[in-house]
Amino acid sequence: MKIFGAPLSPFVRKVMIYCAERDIPYDHVPIFPMGPDGQNPEFLAASPLGKIPAIEDDGFTLADSSAIIHYLEAKHGQALLPEDAQARGQAIFFDEIADTAIAAVTGPIFFNRVVAPKFMGREGDMAAADVAEKETLPPILAKLEKLMPDDSAYLVGGALSVADISLASVFINFKHGGVTVDSDHYPKLSAWLLAIWDRPSFQRQMALEARILG
């Protein structure tokens, strides 16, 4: 299987970490969609909207991180989507909010503080990044803190699931943008995050990303 995309994208990272947790081998094809490789025909054939990630697997192509993970769960056996109906619904809920509400806040922080200066050779909008960090983010973190389970190291069903992979993946973009989750204000969220980031799959991914960021 080929995974097209840039590891610094929360959506690409989510799929790479999912594969690491499942021991699913893949070849990574680096694609930065806003650069020239965004026009790579093999990538565009796999990703109709030109967004990362996308995969090519034995001639089958698919885009969108959640679609890819559901495909891989169906193909390789269900392991990280809970069996129980309620837990399944909750796991998809966490995956969804990670990809939408939370990713929307990482966008201005990560883009303006990291992508623009490091990869596009221009200054980012630091004021927009500061507003996202200081005004938009805290109420969301407070809501997430309330959603953290009291009795488990995992978000859903007492075991690792796509919920943990997806939410902890998007938080790496906050980390790259210099945002920390304060353990005084968000003790459960911060402890959960550090425990998930400590997994070998996340540690290897973060080491790869540290090399990319130099």
Ligand X SMILES: N[C@@H](CCC(=O)N[C@@H](CS)C(=O)NCC(=O)O)C(=O)O
Does 11 contact ligand X by CB under 6 A?
Answer: yes
Which sign does the torsion angle of CA 98, 102, 107, 110 carry? negative
Does 52 contact ligand X by CB under 6 A?
Answer: yes
Which 123-142 residues touch ligand X, going by CB under 6 A?
Answer: none
Nearer to ligand X, 15 or 186 (CB): 15
Least distance in Å: CB of 59 to ligand X?
21
Q: How many CA atoms lie within 13 A of 199 on its CB side?
A: 21
Number of residues that bind ligand X (CB under 6 A): 11
Nearer to ligand X, 122 or 146 (CB): 122
| Percentages (nearest 5) of helix, strand, coil residues in the chain | 60, 5, 30
Does 205 contact ligand X by CB under 6 A?
Answer: no
Amino acid at position 106, single letter: T
Spatial distance between the Cα atoms of 77 and 81, rounded to a whole number of angstroms: 10
Nearer to ligand X, 166 or 190 (CB): 166
Contact present, 202 and 160 (Cβ < 8 Å)? no
Quick count: other Cβ atoms within 10 Å of Cβ 163? 26
Spatial distance between the Cα atoms of 13 and 107, rounded to a whole number of angstroms: 15
Least distance in Å: CB of 80 to ligand X?
16
Least distance in Å: CB of 96 to ligand X?
10
Binding site for ligand X (CB under 6 A): 9, 11, 33, 50-53, 64-66, 99
